[in-house]
Structure formats: C-alpha cells, structure tokens
Amino acid sequence: MQISLWNLGFQTVNFLLLVFLLRRFLYQPILAIIDERKQKVARELQVADQANAEAAALRQQYQDKLASLEAEKQQILRAAQQQAESDAASLRKATESQLDELRSRQSSLLIREREEAERALTSHALHIGLKLAEKLLLDEAIARDPLPALQTVLRRLDALPASERERLLSSLIQQGAELVSVGEVSESERVALQATLSSWAGQSIALAIRVDPSLVVGVEWRVGHLSFALHLRASLEKVRAETLPR
C-alpha cells in the first residue's frame, strides 16, 4: 500500500481549516452565548437577593408597626374598660334606687292585679269545665259499663253502608273483638258481652278483654278493623283539640 504525501498533506490542511472554521464560527458564538446566559443569571440572582432583603426589611417594619398598634390598642381598651366600669357602677346605683321606688309604688297595684287575674282564671276554668261536661254529655262520649258501650257500638255499625258492614263482619269473624276496660270484667259480664256480639254477627265471635287504667273512665271497643274509644282520655283529647287555641 502506497501513501501519497500530496493526499496526506491535502487532508491535513483540510482538517486544520475545518478546526479553524468550527472554532471561529461555531464554538466561540456558543461560548459567548453561554457566558452571556451566566452573566444574566448572576444579575437576576443579585436582583432577587436584593428584593428578598428589601422584603425582609419591610416585613420587620410591618411587625414592629403591628406590635406598636397592639400595645396602643391594649392601652385604649384598658382605659375604656375602667371608664365603663365606673359608668356601670353609677348607672347600677341609680337604677337600683329607681327600682326600689318603683317597687314601693307598684306593690299594692300588683297584688290587686293578681287577685283580679286569679278571679278571671277561676271563671274561665269553670266556663271551660261546663263546656267540657256539656260536650261529653251531648256526644255520649263516655260509657262506664261495657254492655251499654257495646250496644252503642253496634248501633253505629248498623248505620254503616251494607258493603262496609259486610267487610267489617268479615274482619270481625277473622280477628274477633277486644274490650279495653279500666277495671276487671266479671265472667258473667264477659258471657253477656260475647253473646250480644255473637248475636249481632250471626255466629260465635272471639272476645279478648284487657285492662288499661290509663283510660281513666270508660271503655274502648275494637270490633274487627274498627276501634271505638268511649273513655274519658280520648274525649278529653278530642275536646282539647276542638276547643283550645292552637
């Protein structure tokens, strides 16, 4: 293999020329841009440090101002509190004096008004009691004896439309009847009640009896799916709902 000195020299010159051109037109501009960027970053960091220092100074000034304002506020509050306590003591003394005088003047008036109010309340209570007694008597809302109560219930059932009465009779045969009474019911009374109920239904009807003293006076009949409250507790609740203001 033969090496041409001319070719070797020519390639060497080309390489040196390429290195010179790259250094002249590529590396130096890139290095210049990088150096400029470094200087710009350094300037921006310097500006940021200066801004931080100024902000810290302003923050310290603000905190000092707040502390001064807080001390001034506390001083004003203490002075206002002392003045308010002094004014309150004077006002309380004057008010107590006026109240004592007012109590002395109005004592007899209050006693008279209370007596008149008691008389008015008594009269109103009597009026309500009379109205309540009249309403209970007119409505026949309370039945002391189970048998008259049952007869009242059966009269109401006879007044029902035929379709409703048939539906009630069906539920009565299936569910039976229940008597809720204030006191105990004797065996003879139970037999009479069951006979009356079975006679009305046309066949034997089961009868359950339960005692509930909370009814006060009267009874409650549950016939099939219907319930008839013929006792004082239910009557009082009904009258109260109708007469007392809401």
pLDDT in tens, 151-180: 888 898 888 898 898 998 888 888 889 988
Q: Which of the four pLDDT bands, split at 50, 70 and 90, describes residue 136?
A: very low
**Residue 207 domain flag:** yes
What is the b/e burial string over 161-186, where b = at least 16 CB atoms within 10 angstroms of the residue's CB? eeeeeeebbeebeeebbebbbbeebe
Which tokens belong to 178? 């229940």
Per-residue pLDDT at 76 exceeds 80: yes
Q: Which of the four pLDDT bands, split at 50, 70 and 90, describes residue 132?
A: very low
Q: Which of the four pLDDT bands, split at 50, 70 and 90, describes residue 35?
A: confident
DSSP states of the chain as a string? ----HHHHHHHHHHHHHHHHHHIIIIIHHHHHHHHHHHHHHHHHHHHHHHHHHHHHHHHHHHHHHHHHHHHHHHHHHHHHHHHHHHHHHHHHHHHHHHHHHHHHHHHHHHHHHHHHHHHHHHHHHHHHHHHHHHHHHHHT---SSHHHHHHHHHHHHHTS-HHHHHHHHHHHHHH-EEEEESS---HHHHHHHHHHHHHHHTS---EEEEE-GGG-SEEEEEETTEEEEEEHHHHHHHHHHHHS--
Name the domain boundary from 98, 122, 153. 98
Q: Report the pLDDT averaged over residues 130-138.
A: 47
**Residue 119 domain flag:** no
Per cent of the chain over pLDDT 70 is 82
**Residue 67 domain flag:** yes
Q: Which of the four pLDDT bands, split at 50, 70 and 90, describes residue 234?
A: low
**Residue 155 domain flag:** yes
Q: Which of the four pLDDT bands, split at 50, 70 and 90, describes residue 123?
A: low
Same domain membership, residue 148 and residue 94: no
**Residue 130 domain flag:** no
Residue type, position 105, single letter: R
Same domain membership, residue 94 and residue 154: no
The whole-number pLDDT of residue 125 equals 45
Domain with residue 181: its CATH number is 3.30.2320
**Residue 132 domain flag:** no
The whole-number pLDDT of residue 242 equals 56
Same domain membership, residue 94 and residue 146: no
The whole-number pLDDT of residue 99 equals 79
**Residue 89 domain flag:** yes
The boundaries of the domain holding residue 54 are 1-98
Per-residue pLDDT at 40 exceeds 50: yes
**Residue 135 domain flag:** no
Same domain membership, residue 212 and residue 148: yes
Q: Which of the four pLDDT bands, split at 50, 70 and 90, describes residue 121?
A: low
Same domain membership, residue 88 and residue 12: yes
Same domain membership, residue 147 and residue 94: no
Number of domains comprising the chain: 2
Contacts of 140 (CB under 8 A, 6+ apart): 152
Per-residue pLDDT at 134 exceeds 60: no
